[in-house]
Chain A
Amino acid sequence: MNKRVVIVGASHAGAQLASSLRQEGWQGQILMIGEEPFAPYQRPPLSKEYLRGEKNADELLIRPAEMYIRHGVELLPGRCVRSVDRTAKRVLMEDGKSFDYHKLALCTGARVRQLEVPGADLPGVHYLRTLADVDAIRTRLVPGCRVVIVGGGYIGLESAAALRKCGVEVSVLEVQSRLLARVTAPQVSAFYQRIHAEAGVVIHTGWSVVAIEGEDRVTGVVGADGRRLPADMVIVGIGVIPNVELASQCGLKVDNGIWVDEFASTDDSDIYAAGDCTNHPNRLLGRRVRLESVPNAMEQAKSAAASICGRQQCYDAYPWFWSDQYDLKLQIAGLSEGYDRVILRGDADAGRSFVAWYVCGDKLLAADCINRPKEFMVAKQLLAGALPVSVERLADESLDPKLILKI
Chain B
Amino acid sequence: MPIIHYIEPNGAEYEIDVPVGHTVMQGAVDNMIDGILAECGGVCSCATCHCYVDEAWYERVGEPQGAEKMMLEMVVEPEPTSRLSCQIKVTEELDGLVVRLPPSQY
- A-side interface residues toward B, CB under 8 Å? 18-20, 22-23, 42, 44-45, 62-64, 67, 71, 294-295, 298-299, 302, 317, 320, 322, 324, 329, 331, 373-374, 376-378, 380-381, 384, 401-402
Rounded to whole angstroms, the CA-CA distance of A22 and B46 in the bound complex is 24
The listed residue with most B CB atoms (<10 A of its CB), out of A23, A71, A294, A377, is A377
Shortest CB–CB separation between residue A131 and chain B, in angstroms? Answer: 14
Whether the Cβ atoms of A20 and B70 lie closer than 8 Å is no
Rounded to whole angstroms, the CA-CA distance of A302 and B39 in the bound complex is 12
Rounded to whole angstroms, the CA-CA distance of A19 and B34 in the bound complex is 7
Whether the Cβ atoms of A374 and B31 lie closer than 8 Å is no
A374-B70, A377-B74, A402-B73 given as contacts; is B37 within 8 A of A331 (CB)?
no
Shortest CB–CB separation between residue B38 and chain A, in angstroms? Answer: 9
Q: Is B75 an interface residue (CB 8 A)?
A: yes
Residue of B nearest to A48 (CB): B43
Q: Is B30 an interface residue (CB 8 A)?
A: yes
Shortest CB–CB separation between residue B69 and chain A, in angstroms? Answer: 9
Extra inter-chain contacts (8) besides given A295-B39, A373-B71, A377-B70, CB under 8 Å: A44-B43, A63-B30, A322-B45, A329-B44, A373-B44, A380-B74, A380-B106, A402-B73
Q: List chain A residues, Cβ under 8 A from B40.
A: 44, 294, 322
Q: List chain A residues, Cβ under 8 A from B39.
A: 294-295, 298-299
4 closest A-B pairs by beta carbon, nearest first, are: A377-B74, A374-B70, A19-B32, A322-B45
Whether the Cβ atoms of B29 and A63 lie closer than 8 Å is yes
Q: List chain A residues, Cβ under 8 A from B33.
A: 23
Residue of B nearest to A67 (CB): B30
Shortest CB–CB separation between residue A201 and chain B, in angstroms? Answer: 22
Shortest CB–CB separation between residue B24 and chain A, in angstroms? Answer: 14
Shortest CB–CB separation between residue A289 and chain B, in angstroms? Answer: 17
Q: Is B9 an interface residue (CB 8 A)?
A: no
Shortest CB–CB separation between residue B105 and chain A, in angstroms? Answer: 10
Whether the Cβ atoms of A374 and B30 lie closer than 8 Å is no
Whether the Cβ atoms of B29 and A62 lie closer than 8 Å is yes
Rounded to whole angstroms, the CA-CA distance of A317 and B106 in the bound complex is 9
Whether the Cβ atoms of B41 and A298 lie closer than 8 Å is no
Q: List chain A residues, Cβ under 8 A from B29.
A: 19, 62-63
Give which listed residue, A23, A295, A331, A373, contacts B34 with CB less than 8 A: A23
- B-side interface residues toward A, CB under 8 Å? 26, 29-34, 37, 39-41, 43-48, 67, 70-71, 73-75, 106
Q: List chain A residues, Cβ under 8 A from B30.
A: 63-64, 67
A19-B32, A63-B29, A373-B67 given as contacts; is B74 within 8 A of A378 (CB)?
yes
A324-B43, A329-B45, A384-B106 given as contacts; is B75 within 8 A of A67 (CB)?
no
A23-B34, A62-B29, A384-B106 given as contacts; is B41 within 8 A of A377 (CB)?
no
Shortest CB–CB separation between residue A370 and chain B, in angstroms? Answer: 12
Q: List chain A residues, Cβ under 8 A from B75.
A: 377
Residue of A nearest to B47 (CB): A377
Whether the Cβ atoms of A295 and B74 lie closer than 8 Å is no
Shortest CB–CB separation between residue A342 and chain B, in angstroms? Answer: 22
Rounded to whole angstroms, the CA-CA distance of A380 and B76 in the bound complex is 11
Instruction: List 13 A–B pairs whose Cβ atoms lie within 8 Å, in order of A's numbering.
Output: A23-B33, A42-B41, A44-B41, A62-B41, A71-B31, A71-B32, A298-B37, A302-B34, A322-B46, A324-B45, A373-B44, A373-B45, A402-B74
Rounded to whole angstroms, the CA-CA distance of A215 and B44 in the bound complex is 45
Whether the Cβ atoms of A331 and B45 lie closer than 8 Å is yes
Q: List chain B residues, Cβ under 8 A from A320.
A: 46
Rounded to whole angstroms, the CA-CA distance of A302 and B105 in the bound complex is 13
Whether the Cβ atoms of B43 and A322 lie closer than 8 Å is yes
Whether the Cβ atoms of A374 and B32 lie closer than 8 Å is no
Q: List chain B residues, Cβ under 8 A from A22.
A: 32
A373-B70, A376-B71 given as contacts; is B45 within 8 A of A20 (CB)?
no
Residue of A nearest to B71 (CB): A373
Q: List chain A residues, Cβ under 8 A from B67.
A: 329, 373
Q: List chain B residues, Cβ under 8 A from A373.
A: 44-45, 67, 70-71
Shortest CB–CB separation between residue A371 and chain B, in angstroms? Answer: 8
Q: List chain B residues, Cβ under 8 A from A20.
A: 34
Q: List chain A residues, Cβ under 8 A from B45.
A: 322, 324, 329, 331, 373
Residue of B nearest to A44 (CB): B41
Shortest CB–CB separation between residue A403 and chain B, in angstroms? Answer: 12
